[in-house]
Amino acid sequence: MLAANSREHVDCVSRVVRNAERLPQAPVPSLIFDSWRRSMEQHHLDPGSLQGPRILTEPLLKECRERAELFMRIASEQVSQLHHRVRHADYCVMLTDAQGQTIDHRVDAAIRSDCRKAGLYLGTCWSEAEEGTCGVATVLTSQAAVTVHKRDHFRAAFINLTCSAAPIFDPQGNLLGVMDASALQSPDDRRSQHLVRQMVAQSAQAIENAFFMHSAARHWVLQAHSTPGYVDSQPDLLLAWDQEGRLQALNSKARQALRRRFGQVPVHIGEVFDLDALRAVTDQSVQQLQWLGETGVLHVRVNTPRRQPARALPHAQVDPRVEEHLRLAVRVKDRNLPVLVQGETGAGKEVFARQLHARSARRDGPFVAVNCAAIPENLIESELFGYVAGAFTGASSKGMTGLLQQAHGGTLFLDEIGDMPLALQTRLLRVMAEGEVAPLGAAKTQAVDIQVICASHRDLAALVNDGRFREDLYFRLGCARVTLPPLRERTDKLGLINRLLEQEARSCAITVGIGQAALEALLGYAWPGNVRQLRHVLAYACAVCEGGTIQLTDLPVEVRGERVEVEVEHSASPERQVLLDALVRHRWKPLPAAQALGISRATLYRRVKQLGIDMPGKHP
């Protein structure tokens, strides 16, 4: 039975949402009203519910905290400081991740138990879809600092709470989490919360800036404020750019300022400031700088990279996204769940799968790689499941152990899983569910203990829609989906170039370096064939360069940025595309590509030449 004030609240929410068009003015700010409406019409929540928020189980909370480990570490000091400033007014402080799950909190012992009852506790989930309008959820949807005051809350369970919260963004503009200060009691006038909201927003910005400085240590960083005295202690704007001047990171105020001034976020620092004027700014003192083409003056300091650029650390630097994917995938794999790796062809899916195996608990077991696209369809079944002697005409007299059995105790890597025939998908699903394999012609099944990593450069969801891939298998395999970034988007390009060059040079038994112009061309090229193409280009350059340095002229013309003279009819020909697709899918191996196309190897070579296809490793 609802108490009178709860019933009154439920009536008010229902009346306002249902009669919005007829009311001269909503009794709550429009942000809150929009959220009430979504809570009721989109999320179908009951405003009369008195239940507290959902609480994560212990293992799930642990996982969320581990995932946000760096964010929490950087934020921790500010969470404590904010709590110190508001605790005497009986506020507790919570930090949530980008899903609204509370991963850190501070509360005084005197109100801990009441806060816990009200849901202000570690592990509580505050998404709009589950809890309706509340402080954290409103920040998640509006991405701005807000106060959700008492009866602004959607559910009657929360109408005594007052929450002021603010978003925290990473240097790429993605939401990292939400900082929140909540009280169990507060004055009825919502204006009483103005100061607390300001404090929460300030703390959120301090965390954002600290996270920014941590992430941008390898770049040039400009810190700016309209008042010189605040440039170092509380910079408003933070911008970071790399050796080539490309903007790599912005704090949210800088992102907003650039959008306001230039209509969008520019790509290069030279679009934001005059480069000569910028070069004159040092890290020795705060100086004045003007926006490009504008009169407004900023007080700025420019810091040179605090960490050495990748050139000096080719081995240590790995793209943070790839490293993070790897870290999470190891955890998933060690729980015996499959991992699905997606990414463009040549992006390094197999390399990733091998690294994953090497870091997992099964590192001492076998790693068996199967390219489903490279095995002819009529052989896949026997290759995977094996067969007993005399199972079919032409079978070896000794029988054959299937790849699944070979992977027993280790990892089975199914590359190009999208090419697996439907009938085999069904059998694979059964193996994964039952942990048993039946070789062809065998009367008994064999137990197998395998972990599966799959990879595909195709859009598996689209294959499912087309009925070419089993939906249940897609969901089973894709417990954890990792999408590797294409080479053009990787931030460790320089490190990769150095590493691959070292390997190629070693295999040719030479010592080789790269000239500046060649390096710039390698860094600036879009790499449609990803790391595989980079490796081929470097192998070629190692082979042709003279004097121990790769020059621009040692690179293929398309990488140099020169126009490739391919006859239009060639480049646009559908046959050329079909040939290219087959070659790429079969890793440029002529025989399997020819077999897949149903032509002879000689015909394939002839058409490749006629259509002007440049086979890797066959540069003139």
Ligand X SMILES: Nc1ncnc2c1ncn2[C@@H]1O[C@H](COP(=O)(O)OP(=O)(O)OP(=O)(O)O)[C@@H](O)[C@H]1O
Give the interface segment with ligand X, choosing from 21-29, 149-157, 339-347, 598-606 (CB under 6 A).
339-347
Quick check: 493 binds ligand X (CB under 6 A)? no
Q: Which is nearer to ligand X, 114 or 350 (CB)?
A: 350
Select 211 or 527, whichever has its Cβ closest to ligand X. Answer: 527
531 binds ligand X (CB under 6 A): yes
DSSP class of residue 40 equals: I
Q: Can you read off the two tokens belonging to residue 493?
A: 């390009």
Structure tokens belonging to residue 203: 């703390």
Query: Which of 151, 218, 255, 535 contacts ligand X by CB under 6 A?
Result: 535
> With respect to ligand X, which residue has the nearer C-beta, 299 or 532?
532
Considering beta carbons, is residue 301 or 535 the nearer one to ligand X?
A: 535
Q: Is the CB of 181 or the CB of 347 nearer to ligand X?
A: 347
Packed helices 530-544 and 516-524: angle between N→C axes, nearest 10 degrees: 160
- Nearest to ligand X of 350, 614 (CB atom): 350
Among 351, 423, 508, 615, binds ligand X (CB under 6 A): 351
Smallest separation (angstroms) from ligand X to the CB of 403: 17
**Segment near ligand X (CB under 6 A); pick from 104-112, 300-308, 344-352, 357-365:** 344-352
556 — phi, psi (to 5°)? -60, 150
Residue 496 Cβ, how far from ligand X at the closest point, in Å?
6
Least distance (Å) between residue 85 CB and ligand X: 46
**Gap between the Cα atoms of 550 and 39, Å rounded:** 61
Shortest Å distance, C-beta 338 to ligand X: 17
Provide the minimum distance between the beta carbon of 482 and ligand X in the complex, in angstroms, as a whole number. Answer: 12
Considering only 24-32, 41-49, 218-226, 338-346, which stretch makes contact with ligand X by CB under 6 A?
Answer: 338-346
Q: By CB under 6 A, which span of 95-103, 220-228, 240-248, 346-354 interacts with ligand X?
A: 346-354
Q: Annotate 388-431 with DSSP letters as a single string.
A: -TTSSTT--TT-EE-HHHHTTTSEEEEETGGGS-HHHHHHHHHH
**Shortest spacing between CB 348 and ligand X, in angstroms:** 3
Cβ proximity to ligand X: between 488 and 570 the closer is 488
> Which of 74, 239, 347, 370 is in the footprint of ligand X by CB under 6 A?
347
Residues 426-455 that bind ligand X (CB under 6 A): 455
Q: How far apart are CA 534 and CA 525, in angstroms?
A: 10
Quick one: 328 exposed, middle or buried, by C-beta within 10 A (0-12, 13-18, 19+)?
middle
Count of chain residues binding ligand X (CB under 6 A): 16
Of residues 167, 532, 579, 608, which one binds ligand X by CB under 6 A? Answer: 532
Residue 181's H or E segment, with its range, is: strand 175-183
Q: Which of 350, 377, 502, 581 binds ligand X (CB under 6 A)?
A: 350
CB atoms within 10 A of CB 51: 10
Dihedral angle at the C-alpha atoms of 348, 353, 355, 359, nearest 10 degrees?
160
The gap between the terminal CA atoms of the chain, to the nearest Å, is 84
Q: Give 195-252 as a DSSP string.
A: HHHHHHHHHHHHHHHHHHHHHTTTSEEEEEESSGGGTTTS-SEEEEE-TT-BEEEE-H
**Span 393-432, contacts to ligand X by CB under 6 A:** 415
Exposed (0-12), middle (13-18) or buried (19+): which is 339, by Cβ within 10 Å? buried
Instruction: Choose, by CB under 6 A, the member of 119, 343, 386, 402 that binds ligand X.
Output: 343
581 binds ligand X (CB under 6 A): no
Q: Which of 348, 386, 418, 485 binds ligand X (CB under 6 A)?
A: 348
- Regarding 345 and contact with ligand X (CB under 6 A), the answer is yes
- Rounded Cα gap, residues 202 and 481, in angstroms: 36
Site stretch for ligand X (CB under 6 A), options 53-61, 446-454, 520-528, 531-539: 531-539
Helix (H) or strand (E) holding 455: strand 451-456
Please say which residue, 126 or 588, places its beta carbon nearer to ligand X. 588
Picking from 203, 207, 201, 200, the residue whose alpha carbon sits closest to that of residue 183 is 200
Binding flag, residue 587, ligand X (CB under 6 A): yes
Q: How far is the CB of 401 from ligand X (least distance, A)?
A: 25
Biggest CA pair distance of the chain: 88
CA distance 74 to 103: 13
Q: Which residues bind ligand X (CB under 6 A)?
A: 343, 345-351, 415, 455, 457, 500, 531-532, 535, 587
